[in-house]
Structures are given as C-alpha cells and as structure tokens.
A and B are shown apart, each in its own frame.
Chain A
Amino acid sequence: MTNRIRIIPRLDIKGPNLIKGIHLEGLRVVGDPNVFAKKYYEGGADEIIYMDIVASLYGRNNLSDIVKKTVEDIYIPITVGGGVRSIDDIQELLRSGADKVAINTAAIHSPELIKQASRKFGSQCIVLSIEAKRKSESKWESYTDNGREKTGLDAVEWAKKAVELGVGEILLTSIDKEGTQKGFDIDLIKTISTSVPVPVIASGGMGRLENVRDVVVEGKADAVSMAHVLHYSKHTLRDIKKYAIDQQINVRDL
C-alpha cells in the first residue's frame, strides 16, 4: 500500500486578493481568497496553502487577518507562508489559526530560525518553502522573493540541511514550471523527495490530470498542490481525486 497522497489547493495572495501569476510573476487578480478557500474545503481539499507572495518584498504581513477569517468556517489544515521573518511572526500566524507556517527567505538568511521554530512549535508545523530553478540536468538553485533573487544554494543540499535543522515538511515549487500548466518538474520533486525523510508537497505546473499521476508515481511526491486548474475551474477537486483513484493512487475518498 502506498501512502495516502494529499491534494492541496494553493492560494497565492496579494493584499486582500487571490492572485495567479506565471513563473511567480505577471500577477492577475482572481478573487476573494476566503470564497475560494471555502469552495475548496467543501469540494474535498485535504489542506489549503496560503502564500502572501509579495510579503517578503515589502516586508509586511497582512495574512493573519485573512487566516482568521478563513478558519471561522473551514475545518481542514491551513499552511500559511510569505514574509515570515521571526518567531513572533510564526506565533502570530499560528494564533490566527494557521496549522503550519512555510518559510523561505528568512530560513535562507538565518537557518537558525527554523531550528528555533521547530524546537518551540514542533517540526510538524514548520514547513520549508523552496523555490527552485533548474541550472543543469540534475542541479537546481534555491531562490528567494518569489523567484527573483538567486541564493547560490543547491536546492537539494538546502532541503537536507533544513530537515536536519528541524523542518517537518517541504513545499517545493519549481519556478520553471509554475503557472505554465505544463506539468511538474518531476526530476526536481523526485530528487528531493527521495533525499529527505519528511513529506514533500509538489508545487508548480499542474495543467492536466495526468500530471498528478506523473508527480506521484514518478516524482514520489507525498502531496500535490495546484492553483490555476482549480481557480479557473479547469478541474474540480472531485475530478482530481476520482482520476487519482482510477490510477490506483491512494487518496482520501470523499
């Protein structure tokens, strides 16, 4: 029996709006994040991801208000990320109702933060967010600030190090594939998922149902996140789960 795969809508947020871009840029407003989150909860999402995708650029964090509102009537886990800089930021998001907090930029600048955070809040609620861009056949570089800033860090090595420091999960976004709807970066997902003992959420590139099979069966993803196909009603969560079950992928049945 394979592990049960989670299907996770990802909602990128800018200000009060749900937005969607390509390669994490070229942003377009989609609607009210709470309305979409509610729809996905009712549609059978296993979790929800909220990412404030400009927070780290402008150094502010308005997500906690949106989170507070969302958790009033959504009873599944919510991972929140974007602009998380300190233990206090994490505390604030958790107290607002987030179950897990995803950290990228601040973790790279100060790996000590993820160590302290996982000791204080538990590994299970500290998610490392990696934005990776392919450099060669089998090398990827970690970026920060939504794929704008190079770090020089090898994404695979960084993932391993962050797990040693205590992160309990990895949200792995391919900058090359994000928003393209051309499928996930299978090599990237597989390389990292088979290198670390913690679950990996694959992100970036979902366009067709077959992409789910590929990223789970070949890419060894533990969870699959998607945005565009859901926001623009190209597929429903029900379609995705039904397809997964047909492909003998173990998902939570609705």
Chain B
Amino acid sequence: MKEVTIVDYGVGNLKSVANAFKSLNCKVGLAQNAKNILSSDYLIFPGVGAFHNAMEELRQRELIDAIKEFNSLERPFLGICLGLQLLFENSCEFGNHVGLSLLKGSIKEIPSQGSEGLTHKIPHIGWNNIINQSPNLHPILKGLPQRPFFYFVHSFMAVPENSSDIIAKTNYNGIQIPAIAGRNNFLATQFHPEKSGSIGLKVLSNFLKM
C-alpha cells in the first residue's frame, strides 16, 4: 500500500485531498513538522487562500527548508492550487512576497480582460480543459481524454520564466494559464484534482505511479 503525506500547515481543504487518496487505496498521513516531510514517500502540498498568509504559516512552523530539502531528494511531490503558486519566486498578491523559489517565475493577477478584449469574471471559477505542453505526453496525463476538464478556482496565476516548466496549460478566454507546472516527478497543479471527479482521481493515480 502506497503512503501519501499531506503537508498540514493550517491552510487548505486537507480532508478532500486525503479522501481522494484514500479512495485510491493509499495510506494517508499528515506532516506537521520537518521530520514528517522528509520521511515521506509521496508529498502533497495543498493550499488555498492568500500567498503571504501561507508563506507565513510555513515560516512559523519551520517547514520552508524541509520542503526545499524534500525536493532535493527527488521523491514525488505534488503541489495543488496555492501549493503550485508557492513554488515560484514571488507573488504580487496583497503586496510583494517571496515564495519557495523552487521554480523560476512570478505569480501575477489573472488579467480581467480576455485576449479579444472581452471582460471575464475573476476569480476564474469552474471547469476548464487543459492542453499538454510537454514534447511527449507527461506521465501525469496518461490515460486521460484528449482535452480533460478540471476544476479551477483562483484569481492569480503563475508566469514561469522557463516555458519548459509548463507541462499543461488551460485557456481562459485567450489567457494562457499554466495548469500543471514542474518537471519529472516534481509537479504542481493549478486546478484541484481532488475536486475534478473521476478524471482528477486519474491524475492522482498517475502521480502514485511515479
């Protein structure tokens, strides 16, 4: 039985993430300290809410270095939603804030106008399909329909410095939003796989094969 560890830093809907992995026959644990993080096989880094709040929670719990160190071990890692954004260098949400800097680039507000000048609603809430960007289909996307739908809910988006860090993107009225970022088994989704029905569960089960 695979064992998945979810970083518990007081932010995010841990229960839904845990339930999704339990439905895939995993043992699910919560990591509240550096030791738990470093001893995990599969680390899940969820998050909702504001960027600086989350960074502050990580700092107070002394988890920042542990997450960085875990990454150097090259074990499977999956950030979700804010857990994707926190991996970048900085964010302009409520001021300028430094992130974990595991990926190069910034977090910016989603433009309130689409490419054709049509205004659209922010937050971007709802189901949107994603498009593979890597030269070969990344294993996380294996066995999915061609343009699978996932559930997004966010007002900010990643703007990676290296386009090779974008594994899949989604299109919100012409705005290209990174939907999956990372490389190899170091991954993060802007959407919520745990809230994206059976297709979301498929992504999680792909992750467990890494």
CB contacts under 8 Å to A, within B1-48, are 13-16, 19-20, 23, 48
Cβ of B121 to closest chain A Cβ, rounded Å: 5
Q: Which residues of B contact A168 (CB under 8 A)?
A: 123, 125, 155
* Contact among A76, A96, A169, A197 for B125, CB-based, below 8 A: A169
For A41, the closest partner residue in chain B by CB is: B197
Contact B121 A124 (CB under 8 A): no
Contact B126 A75 (CB under 8 A): no
Total A-B pairs in contact (CB under 8 Å)?
Answer: 105
Q: Which residues of B contact A100 (CB under 8 A)?
A: 153
Cβ of A72 to closest chain B Cβ, rounded Å: 6
Contact A124 B192 (CB under 8 A): no
What is the 8 Å Cβ interface bit string for chain B, positions 121-151, against chain A (1 contact, 0 not)?
A: 1110111100000000000000000000101
Cβ of A222 to closest chain B Cβ, rounded Å: 6
Q: Please, how many angstroms separate the alpha-carbon atoms of A38 and B192 in the complex? A: 19
Contact B126 A6 (CB under 8 A): yes
Q: Which residue, of A3, A46, A125, has the highest number of chain B Cβ atoms within 10 A?
A: A3
In terms of DSSP, what is the predominant structure of the interface of chain A?
Answer: loop
Stretch in contact with the other chain, from A14-22, A24-32, A115-123, A145-153? A115-123
Q: Please, how many angstroms separate the alpha-carbon atoms of A71 and B194 in the complex? A: 10
Question: With contacts A77-B153, A97-B19, A99-B153 known, is A124 near B123, CB below 8 A?
Answer: yes
Given contact pairs A71-B16, A77-B151, A199-B121, enumerate 9 new A-B contacts (beta carbons under 8 Å).
Answer: A4-B126, A68-B15, A75-B20, A76-B197, A97-B19, A124-B154, A125-B48, A252-B126, A252-B127
> Which B residues are closer than 8 A to A by beta carbons?
13-16, 19-20, 23, 48-50, 53, 82, 94, 112, 119-123, 125-128, 149, 151, 153-155, 173, 192, 194-198, 200-201
List 10 interface pairs A-B (beta carbons < 8 Å), by A numbering: A3-B173, A6-B125, A6-B126, A46-B151, A95-B15, A97-B16, A99-B195, A100-B153, A169-B125, A197-B121
